[in-house]
């Protein structure tokens, strides 16, 4: 029984490390939120779906970063699937493991300090709706 708990514990730790690695870059966060807002069977266009509307990025540079770094990482973790022609992404088999982080944050928006909310349109909206302002 101890061995099973140990192995399960290691597996869970690795899964959480993967989730936090995935959400450690803004383009990846934006893409995950866009996919969360889209129908589960729908692909989203890139690089548009990975751009923060408050801090527009150079689409060509972002497209290169997505292609060479962000998309392969998210796909390797099973969070997304992606195609190159056209450049699109859709939910992967493990998408729920990373999506739940954003669902919980959105549901607790009223409790999140303003320093982490102001400037994030989605959390600002969720916070306003939950407080009735």
Q: Which residues of the chain form beta strands (DSSP E)? A: 44-45, 80-84, 87-91
Q: Tell me the mean pLDDT in the region 26-32.
A: 94
pTM: 0.86
Q: Which residues contact 74 (CB under 8 A, 6 or more apart)?
A: 22, 28, 31, 32, 80, 82, 89, 92
Residue 113 or residue 34, greater confidence: 34
- What proportion of the chain, given as a percentage, has pLDDT over 90? 64
The number of angstroms, rounded, from the C-alpha of 84 to the middle of its chain's C-alpha atoms is: 20
> What's the CA gap between 84 and 74, in Å, rounded?
15
Among 21, 27, 76, 75, which residue's Cα sits nearest to residue 48? 27
CB atoms under 10 Å from CB of 85, counted, come to: 5
Domain locations in the chain?
A: 2-131
Q: What dotted CATH number matches 2-131?
A: 1.10.10.10
């Amino acid at each position: 029984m101890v061995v099973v708990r140990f192995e399960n514990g290691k597996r869970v730790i690795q899964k959480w490390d993967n989730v936090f690695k995935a959400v450690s870059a803004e383009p990846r966060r934006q893409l995950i939120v866009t996919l969360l807002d889209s129908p589960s069977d729908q692909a989203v266009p890139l690089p548009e779906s990975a751009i923060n509307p408050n801090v527009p990025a150079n689409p060509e540079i972002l497209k290169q970063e997505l292609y060479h770094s962000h998309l392969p990482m998210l796909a390797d973790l099973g969070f997304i699937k992606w195609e190159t022609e056209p450049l699109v992404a859709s939910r992967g088999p493990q998408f729920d493991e990373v999506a739940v982080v954003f669902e919980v944050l959105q549901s607790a928006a009223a409790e999140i300090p303003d320093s982490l909310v102001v400037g994030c349109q989605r959390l600002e909206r969720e916070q306003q709706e939950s407080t009735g302002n």
